[in-house]
Amino acid sequence: MKKVTFVAALLCASPALAIEWNNPFVGICAGEYQVVGTIGAGAGELQVNKDRDGFAYASVGLTPTVGVWQTELRYSYFDDGGVSSDLYGLNFKVDFSLDCDIQCLYWMAGWTYGEFDVDTIDIDNNQVTLLVEEDGNDDFWHAGVGYRYRWTRNFDTSVEYMYNDVGDVVDFDLGHLRSLTLNFSYRFFGPQ
pLDDT in tens, 34-70: 899 999 999 999 887 777 889 999 999 998 877 788 9
Looking at residue 16, its pLDDT comes to 47
Query: Which contiguous run of DSSP H or E holds residue 12?
Result: helix 2-20
Query: Which contiguous run of DSSP H or E holds residue 87?
Result: strand 83-95
C-alpha closest to that of 85 among 48, 60, 37: 48
Count CB atoms within 10 A of the CB of residue 116: 22
Q: Which amino acid is at 96?
A: F
Looking at residue 38, its pLDDT comes to 96
Query: What global pTM score does this model have?
Result: 0.77
Task: Place 76 in a pLDDT band, splitting at 50, 70 and 90.
Answer: very high
pLDDT in tens, 135-170: 888 899 999 999 999 999 889 999 999 999 888 877
- Give the range among 10-19, 112-121, 155-164 with minimum mean pLDDT: 10-19
Q: Which amino acid is at 84?
A: S
Cα–Cα distance for residue pair 45/48, rounded to 1 Å = 9
Task: Place 20 in a pLDDT band, splitting at 50, 70 and 90.
Answer: very low
Q: Mind listing the domains of the chain with CATH numbers?
A: 34-188 (2.40.160.20)
